[in-house]
Amino acid sequence: MFRRLGGVGRVPAPRHGRTPRPGTVRDTGSVKRILLVLLAGVLMAGCSSTAGDSATPTEVPPCDPGPPGTREVQVGNRSFLLHVPTDFRNPSPAVFTFHGRGSNAQQQLLLTGFEQVSEEGRFLVVAPNARNGRWDFTGGDNEYLRQVGAAIPCADPTRVYASGISMGSAMTFALACAPERKFAAFGGVALTLFERPCQTTPPAPIIYFHGTKDEVVPFRGGQPEGEDIKLPAVPVAMQEWADHNGCTQDATDEVGNDVTLREWTQCQANADVEYYRVRGGGHTWPGASPFIADAIEPRLGKTTQTVDASRLMWEFFEGYTLPAS
């Protein structure tokens, strides 16, 4: 299913934010609705690219993504943010990043720093906007996300990746459970789940981060703040993903003083799983700028600077590509 690109594999510890590299869940109605509705249809119609079906690897027609920088793109009566790197490559990988509950696309870009990572990695960044700060897991966002996918210029449809935090991470994992895979790899922060519909889907390459002191989505599982669902403990869910992917080897590395990486490898379709446990970490994005980290700490807890989730995600993502259709 997935082709792992050359040069990307397991790298020994330590990792310090620059180096590469989810248990059985009870069938609660709300969690099941999150996945079953999304699995009923394909969210993404595919990202647009003017490369065309007849283009060869050595003859890619020119494509103009528009001026470099971040701009708002209108789709129907909604919009999303698109960042185009200065040193654009055609066709370009694209990273979707889904914001959490109560947030928005602009805040997600500020939190993650994906615009800066995009400049280094030469990939497009796509930040969708939920209505009223909540993703609609009853199907209301399906058409919007199809339109977003169709509006991305010059994208390589085999190298599109999904990421998110909290409710946006729930969206990311729901996409990982889609029967028709449109994303090559997945990155989540502060909410993971594995539900029965996921069991029949292909292996999914996953990188994930969660703080042990997260009081919004508890590390030990249970009910997230303000939501009528019950989630598994993080280690349980991540083991379930590794089992689902058929991984046969795992190793644990200490990364600095507060981060432990558990990595499952030798997986079916090369779909590795990387899980970063942040000791004392809150409901936060690892590696967020100190200014943002300080501002949100009283409400959401500690942000580790030992690892940079955005850079680690990109370094993980760039090793994966979907087969060309």
pLDDT-derived band of residue 197, with 50, 70 and 90 as boundaries? confident
pLDDT given for residue 58 in this prediction: 55
Confidence category of residue 57, pLDDT binned at 50, 70, 90: low
Give per-residue pLDDT as tens, 253-303: 999 999 999 999 999 999 999 999 999 999 999 999 999 999 999 999 999
Average pLDDT of 214-233?
94
At 323, the pLDDT band (50, 70, 90 cuts) reads confident
- Percent of the chain, pLDDT > 90? 75
Strands 206-211 and 273-278: parallel
d(CA 12, CA 261) in angstroms, rounded, equals 11
Rounded to whole angstroms, how far apart are CA atoms 102 and 93?
Answer: 28
- Single pTM value for the model: 0.86
pLDDT band at 228 (very low <50, low <70, confident <90, very high): confident
Taking the C-alpha atoms of residue 195 and residue 26, their distance in angstroms, rounded to an integer, is 8
Q: Dmax over Cα atoms in the chain, in whole Å?
A: 54
Give the number of other Cβ atoms within 10 Å of residue 294's Cβ: 11
The amino acid at residue 254 is E
List the domains of the chain with CATH numbers.
3-41+66-321 (3.40.50.1820)
**Per-residue pLDDT at 45 exceeds 70:** no
Q: Measure the CA–CA gap between 37 and 41, rounded to whole angstroms.
A: 7
Distance in angstroms (rounded) separating the CA atoms of residues 219 and 283: 10
Q: Cα–Cα distance between 46 and 230 in angstroms, integer? A: 32
| Distance of alpha carbon 108 from alpha carbon 93, whole angstroms | 19
Q: In terms of C-beta density within 10 A (0-12 exposed, 13-18 middle, 19 or more buried), how is residue 64 classed?
A: exposed
* Helix segments in the chain, DSSP class H: 29-39, 105-112, 114-121, 142-151, 167-176, 234-244, 290-300, 309-317
Instruction: Give buried/exposed letters for 21-33 (b at 16+ CB in 10 A, else e).
Output: bbbebeebeebbe
Quick one: pLDDT at residue 316?
A: 98
Residue reference for tokens 């409710």? 167
pLDDT tens, 144-190? 999 999 999 999 999 999 999 999 999 999 999 988 889 999 999 99
Q: Say how far apart CA 260 and CA 279 lie, in whole Å.
A: 8
Cross-strand bridge partners of residue 56: 59
Which has the higher per-residue pLDDT, 179 or 243? 243
Q: How many residues does the chain have?
A: 325
Residue 23 pLDDT: 29
